[in-house]
Amino acid sequence: PAPAPATYFQQRVPVPEDRNTNRISLRRLWAFTGPGFLMSIAYLDPGNIESDLQSGAKAGFKLLWVLLGATAIGLLLQRLAARLGVVTGMHLAEVCHRHYRTVPRILLWLMVELAIIGSDMQEVIGCAIAFNLLSSGRIPLWGGVLITIMDTFVFLFLDKYGLRKLEAFFGLLITLMAVTFGYEYVTVGPDQGQLLKGMFVPYCEGCGPVQLTQAVGIVGAVIMPHNIYLHSALVKSREVDRSNRKEVKEANKYFFIESSMALFVSFLINVFVVAVFAEGFYGRTNQEVFHVCNQTGSPHSHLFPLNNHTLEVDIYKGGVVLGCFFGPAALYIWAVGILAAGQSSTMTGTYSGQFVMEGFLNLRWSRFARVLLTRSIAVTPTLLVAVFQDVHSLTGMNDFLNVLQSMQLPFALLPILTFTSLPALMSEFANGLVFKVGGGVVVLIVCAINMYFVVVYVTELHSVWIYVTAAILSVAYLTFVGYLVETGHCFSFSQNGSRIVGNFSLVFHTLKRF
């Protein structure tokens, strides 16, 4: 039977010629514009928005420098992903399929799928909460979950109208987020001096374990593993003659410029959210918020207990407190921004899943079948919580999902760093010493952050069985990460570039035999 049509690549965007390569051509830049903005949507999903508002409420402006640093690291990783796709003509999952053995490859695929499903669950939660807020509670959370399932199928067929129209639609959703969260920013009017100090002074005065955990959460929320796979595939939508060295170099340059612009926009939107909650709600108590909500006649004042504990907010409570302090318009505009974040990121997440499945397993499913599978896996637990629990349980799932996605990061970082450092694969475009060392440092930092995140999360559960299970899983996790590091050192390609040779250490001998 004929294979199902490949998502997103039913047409290629032609790139106009420009003989003067010493200057930046706006016509050529416009032709390359699109993949970077689709990639940047992962930096604006509901999980990121919740991390932003909690950062502002718990630490004020003091962690903005962490957000800036995480976004800069994200840009460098996206640069590697784009270069791999442009230079090789293959995306990261396809390269993994060619160069890893069967068992490690399937394990790697499962890890990436876990990250995609976790992200998908956050997006469904965000959309369900947005529908609930927009309808003043008339649409229950489980109803919002069901609506999200149906409208995703509708939106996913937009690429039938052409690739550029699809990219324009995503651009519209990013614009909607910029306008809605920008409105909140202007309404609250944050202190610009404190904002700039928090962004460019890497210090957190008076911070404790709460702020440290939040800083770790920012890194985990911003750098998403499946986004590396996604971007390496999206860049293949442009017509680039890979046999022409100059054309490949030009494509790398324009994709980097476009990615920089896209992540700058996403960074500004994230700053809007952090600043709104830093200025409006940092240091406030539950009792203080309760009285303000009670005076304004808000039906949600019961969400805030009458005590002097520091206010804790999530996506749902964030909209409520904005409505209490700055009027109903602030609440509804917040909900529209969350809805745009959830809808856009859930579609790009589905594209990620399509590329990952096609690449790792060499399996081509129709979009309908692919969406049906991932949506079912993501929606089932979300729907059960929405039906049998309350909004607090639903938003509380985000903590677990952030830990889950943070744990999957090495399974994108190690392959992309390994393959973009191989001259046999990348020729003259292989990573230099600075990128190799810098990439290795980033991977070590990420692994350390992951271990810290897991220890903090697990110790709060107070269960011996969970401690034992987490310890066993941690050993297996670190073993697999070590295997990927080892193969990164041992990679050597035969002339057809499709085999691994080399001697692995005894620890990984069993895996190698598979």
Average pLDDT per consecutive 10 residues, the chain (514 residues; last block may be shorter): 47 77 84 93 90 91 94 92 93 90 89 85 85 88 82 69 84 94 94 94 85 82 88 92 89 95 96 94 89 87 85 88 92 93 83 85 72 70 71 66 79 90 89 85 78 76 80 84 74 42 36 42
CA dist., res. 380 & res. 375, Å (int): 8
- Residue 378 falls inside a structural domain: yes
Separation of CA 413 from chain center:
13
Is 226 in contact with 115 (CB distance < 8 Å)?
yes
pLDDT for the residue numbered 161: 76
Domain of residue 266, CATH code:
1.20.1740.10
Q: What is the dihedral of CA 93, 98, 100, 102, to 10 degrees?
A: 90
Token pair, residue 272, equals 């809007």
- Residue 445 falls inside a structural domain: no
- Residue 136 falls inside a structural domain: yes
Of 310, 399, 379, 417, which is closest to residue 79 (Cα–Cα)? 417
* Coil, helix or strand at residue 351: helix
Residues ≥6 apart with Cβ < 8 Å to 65 = 198, 199, 200, 201, 202, 203
Is 491 in contact with 502 (CB distance < 8 Å)?
yes
pLDDT for the residue numbered 114: 86
User: Which residues are 13's β-sheet partners?
Assistant: 238
pLDDT for the residue numbered 40: 94
- Residue 296 falls inside a structural domain: yes
AA identity, residue 468: V
User: Which residues are 310's β-sheet partners?
Assistant: 285
**For the chain, what is the largest distance between any 2 Cα atoms, rounded to a whole number of angstroms?**
75
Which range marks the domain in which residue 148 is found? 26-392
- Residue 450 falls inside a structural domain: no
CA dist., res. 329 & res. 332, Å (int): 5
Beta strands in 445-495 (DSSP E): none
CA dist., res. 261 & res. 26, Å (int): 13
pLDDT for the residue numbered 9: 57
AA identity, residue 147: I
CA dist., res. 475 & res. 238, Å (int): 42
Is 82 in contact with 231 (CB distance < 8 Å)?
yes
pLDDT for the residue numbered 488: 66
pLDDT for the residue numbered 383: 76
* Degrees to nearest 5, angle at CA 39 with 36 and 40: 85
Is 40 in contact with 392 (CB distance < 8 Å)?
no
- Residue 426 falls inside a structural domain: no
User: Tokens 């399929």 identify what position?
Assistant: 97
CA distances from 209 to 46, 216, 308, 453, 456 (A): 24, 11, 19, 12, 10
Number of domains in the chain: 1
pLDDT for the residue numbered 392: 65
User: Tokens 């006649």 identify what position?
Assistant: 297
For the whole model, what pTM was predicted?
A: 0.87
Of 108, 33, 58, 18, which is closest to residue 418 (Cα–Cα)? 108
Cβ contacts of 391-396, under 8 Å, gap ≥ 24:
391/129, 391/132, 391/141, 391/316, 394/125, 394/128, 394/129, 394/141, 394/316, 395/50, 395/125, 395/129, 395/314, 395/315, 395/316, 395/317, 396/314
Is 402 in contact with 47 (CB distance < 8 Å)?
yes
pLDDT for the residue numbered 409: 84
> Positive or negative CA dihedral for 167, 168, 174, 178?
positive
CA dist., res. 269 & res. 333, Å (int): 14
- Residue 443 falls inside a structural domain: no
Burial of 364 (0-12, 13-18, 19+ CB in 10 A): middle
